[in-house]
Amino acid sequence: MRIDLYNAGKADVILFRTDNSTVLLDTGHDNTSSAVVRWLKGMQVKTIDRLIITHFDRDHVGGAEAILKNFKVWEIFSSYVTRQSTSLRGYVRALQRANLTPVIIRDEEVFTLDGVTYQIIGATRSYTNEISNNSSLITAVRYGECKYLFMGDAHNERIEEFLDTYDMHADFLKIPYHGYYLTALEDLLQSVSPSMAVITNSRNDPPREEVSATLSVLKEYGVRTWQTANGTVSVYCNPYTCTVSQR
């Protein structure tokens, strides 16, 4: 399996590929959607078996309309809608044209493609702060003995909810909310114990002081960390280990 975390600025575009399957986790901004489509075509993507929309902020769903126009998507999973936006309206129009109805995740959904298991964990509570971000789907991916955890834009409430329910170790962690400092991050690292992590950010967004505070915590826990601000991050996985490169 190969995982690519595309350099889309402060946004998530994460591609999972095996010999016989393609899964896309989030679609980035609408204003980078043409670049994302070109990148996917350059990666020889022709169809997408599963598209996962973690939540409905513009930097996660904004490119979905372009993805649905340019690729055959077989099934979509999403969080529940917490906000209205131009990006969401474009996504809904594209769904109608493609005759697709998303599966709304409120508990969890598990599927396996080509030997890789995806566990999509929905938000089950009502949130008082950062409602859209806290509604993020969390995705755990297992390939052989290795596990990879993608936290969407989960904020403190959502992280604590996840930790209250799941006792989950992962070798690799996609840091929540693009590297903004979160007080629950230390609890997350203590529980998950990753050795590697990626922050999906741009050079100045989030602000450098926010990312520096997050990097300081990651360093304290001995987590080797990459930032997509420095280029697309590629994770090459076999059933027993993984290696990371950046370009």
Confidence of residue 83 (pLDDT cuts 50, 70, 90): confident
> Whole-angstrom Cα distance, residue 145 to residue 152?
23
> Whole-angstrom Cα distance, residue 203 to residue 192?
27
What residue spans define the domains of the chain? 2-246
Tell me the two tokens of residue 15: 């591609």
Among 2, 16, 26, smallest CA distance to 235 is for 2
> Whole-angstrom Cα distance, residue 70 to residue 64?
10
- Tell me which DSSP letter residue 81 carries: P
Mean pLDDT (the chain) is 96
Q: Is the model's pTM score more than 0.95?
A: yes
How far are the Cα atoms of 33, 98, 187 from residue 102, in angstroms, in the given order?
20, 11, 32
- Environment class of 138 (CB within 10 Å of its CB; exposed 0-12, middle 13-18, buried 19+): buried
pLDDT, one tens digit per residue, over 202-212 is 999 999 999 99
pLDDT, one tens digit per residue, over 30-76 is 999 999 999 999 999 999 999 999 999 999 999 999 999 999 999 99
| CATH architecture assignment, domain 2-246 | 4-Layer Sandwich (3.60)
